[in-house]
């Protein structure tokens, strides 16, 4: 029969190892008391009065929350194990076996280097925080909260857009590198390592000299813009939007047509040079260095004096036109379109037939001179300087008095005709066609026959 004393010794049927009571009906495994009424699982003492959950000792006097051991003597805060023997600071697990420095979790299984959290699950390489949730690629900090794309630092606090470094501390606007250490103004690349002055791209790899764009892919030579997309050949501006053909400036805003300069500020009309600094009026060259006055060419290399053309290649002597294509011999105009033969003017608009002057403004009919200033009526010469009255010739050098011919070469004395070819002796007419024998008139139409001879 079991006495009350025996019953006290045999609670749970376990011996009181270590001389401790079997609190909770559990054996004193390891010779430790069943502190808190918990069994000494694993043979460890119930330090702190906590059970040995998982069969682990209560190192540090903390409970084995989650069934994990108190490695390092730290409590299993958050119910996580003390992996690596580090405390679960912040109640986070020691993923990767790293301590929760700064009280942050080891997201991604990386250590909290620098006491920063592994935002984005990236390691704190270089001891910098993962600002923006980006990794510290290259061991550089995520300044500005941008990723270190390409493994370059975010100098200036700008992102490495395009995977290029922020050289000069400028952002990679447009995703282009800051070649030469210049910013990508306008979002254009620094081609050639030149800055995008004026916010224009360095097309062709040339600098934006003067703050102008490299339109057409040409350099801004002389600091001028490539207006019209033409190069600034010779370092001159493309005034008027024309190219500097021949390397000459577009003076006056005209193109250098033919590759000639716009001397005098005139256009190279017709593709000719402005020789003498005159305009190519009419699109003709300034041959001889004379201007194309009137819009006519300088044919023969003569100037267009008077604004007339050099027809026939003759000069406009006297400032008159070469009408008919004849020269202005003597400096007279070719009136009527006739040449100035003999160097005389075409008075009356008649030609100088025979090389005689048109004295009196009459034509040289028959090729005779206008002697006395009379016309060559009938095409006869003005012999004696008399007019061909009646259209008869001045035979004998006498005038055609009365408008009669000088028949026989006699004068029309008295203003009568030389009928019969006889002279008007005595100033009488040759009535009947007889001579004025004796100087008497042929009264009745009879001859002046001497009566003595009858």
pLDDT tens column, 63-79: 999 999 999 999 999 99
Instruction: Please tell me the predicted confidence (pLDDT) of residue 15.
Output: 87
Rounded CA separation 384/411 (Å)? 11
Q: What are phi and psi of 217, to 5 degrees?
A: 80, 25
Rounded CA separation 394/377 (Å)? 10
Q: Which residues of the chain have pLDDT under 70?
A: 1-11, 450-454
Rounded CA separation 71/73 (Å)? 5
Q: What are phi and psi of 370, to 5 degrees?
A: -85, 65
Are 53 and 63 spatial neighbours (Cβ–Cβ below 8 Å)? yes
**Other CB atoms within 10 A of residue 277 CB:** 14
pTM over 0.75: no
The radius of gyration of the chain's CA atoms, rounded to the nearest angstrom, is: 65
Number of H helices, E strands in the chain: 1, 0
DSSP letter, residue 10: T
Instruction: Please tell me the predicted confidence (pLDDT) of residue 1.
Output: 47
DSSP letter, residue 5: H
Residue 230's contacts (CB-CB under 8 Å, 6 or more residues apart) are: 216, 218, 238, 241, 242, 243, 244
Q: Is 15 exposed, middle or buried (0-12, 13-18, 19+ CB in 10 A)?
A: exposed
Rounded CA separation 408/430 (Å)? 13
Instruction: Please tell me the predicted confidence (pLDDT) of residue 163.
Output: 96
């Amino acid at each position: 029969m079991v006495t009350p004393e025996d019953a006290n010794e045999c609670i749970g049927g376990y011996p009181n190892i270590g001389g401790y009571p079997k609190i909770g009906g559990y054996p004193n495994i390891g010779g430790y008391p069943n502190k808190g009424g918990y069994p000494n699982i694993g043979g460890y003492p119930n330090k702190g009065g906590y059970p040995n959950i998982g069969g682990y000792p209560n190192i540090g006097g903390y409970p084995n929350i989650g069934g994990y051991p108190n490695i390092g003597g730290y409590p299993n805060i958050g119910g996580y194990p003390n992996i690596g023997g580090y405390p679960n600071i912040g109640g986070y697990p020691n993923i990767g076996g790293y301590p929760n420095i700064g009280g942050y979790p080891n997201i991604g299984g990386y250590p909290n280097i620098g006491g920063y959290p592994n935002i984005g699950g990236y390691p704190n390489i270089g001891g910098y925080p993962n600002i923006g949730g980006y990794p510290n690629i290259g061991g550089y900090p995520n300044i500005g909260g941008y990723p270190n794309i390409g493994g370059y630092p975010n100098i200036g606090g700008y992102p490495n857009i395009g995977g290029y470094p922020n050289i000069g501390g400028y952002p990679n606007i447009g995703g282009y590198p800051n070649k030469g250490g210049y910013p990508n103004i306008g979002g254009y690349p620094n081609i050639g390592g030149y800055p995008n002055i004026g916010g224009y791209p360095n097309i062709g790899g040339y600098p934006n000299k003067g703050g102008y764009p490299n339109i057409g892919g040409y350099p801004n030579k002389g600091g001028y813009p490539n207006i019209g997309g033409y190069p600034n050949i010779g370092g001159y501006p493309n005034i008027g939007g024309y190219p500097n053909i021949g390397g000459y400036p577009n003076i006056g805003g005209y193109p250098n047509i033919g590759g000639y300069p716009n001397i005098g500020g005139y256009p190279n009309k017709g593709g000719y040079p402005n020789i003498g600094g005159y305009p190519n009026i009419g699109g003709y060259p300034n041959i001889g260095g004379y201007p194309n006055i009137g819009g006519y060419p300088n044919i023969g290399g003569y100037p267009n004096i008077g604004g007339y053309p050099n027809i026939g290649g003759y000069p406009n002597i006297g400032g008159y036109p070469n009408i008919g294509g004849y020269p202005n011999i003597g400096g007279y105009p070719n009136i009527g379109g006739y040449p100035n033969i003999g160097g005389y003017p075409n008075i009356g608009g008649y030609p100088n037939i025979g090389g005689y002057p048109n004295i009196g403004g009459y034509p040289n009919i028959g090729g005779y001179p206008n002697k006395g200033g009379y016309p060559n009526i009938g095409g006869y010469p003005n012999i004696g300087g008399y007019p061909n009255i009646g259209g008869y010739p001045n035979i004998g050098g006498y005038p055609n008095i009365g408008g009669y011919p000088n028949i026989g070469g006699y004068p029309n004395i008295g203003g009568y005709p030389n009928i019969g070819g006889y002279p008007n002796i005595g100033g009488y007419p040759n009535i009947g066609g007889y001579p004025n024998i004796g100087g008497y008139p042929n009264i009745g139409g009879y001859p002046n026959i001497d009566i003595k001879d009858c």
